Structure 1
């Protein structure tokens, strides 16, 4: 009877340690695979543009309204540069 209780207690102590070990091992494996991919796979060839994308001139407005810009999207400086269809 004592051996049965001891076995149950040891299983209760060892099971969480095994689970933690599996999580750490899977994280290390994912980190290793991503390192291999980023070091071995070349970046995609992209075409250089003549000029960078226009910067948003309404930075003061973004501080108050978040990243979404003004409430009226027709006021957005980037959309103003595009011709109307």
Structure 2
């Protein structure tokens, strides 16, 4: 793993998002659409942490919008999905 620092940053961001979701769930006004957006944010950070783990510093600096989208997606085929 080349990008340990960025992995750690994204894991911390995901954890903070999940903690915010926990607090929000206690509010009866918190709606499903908000949960969806908040979970998408957490998933993004977890997926990004996995997908950039072996990317070079140069690749991260010069990344395109397409790279960002690709690195944010669930790594189908690399991590076994639950059935």
Normalising by structure 2, we get a TM-score of 0.29
Quick one: higher RCO (CA 8 Å, sep 6+), 1 or 2? Answer: 2
* Greater Rg over alpha carbons, structure: 1
Normalising by structure 1, we get a TM-score of 0.28
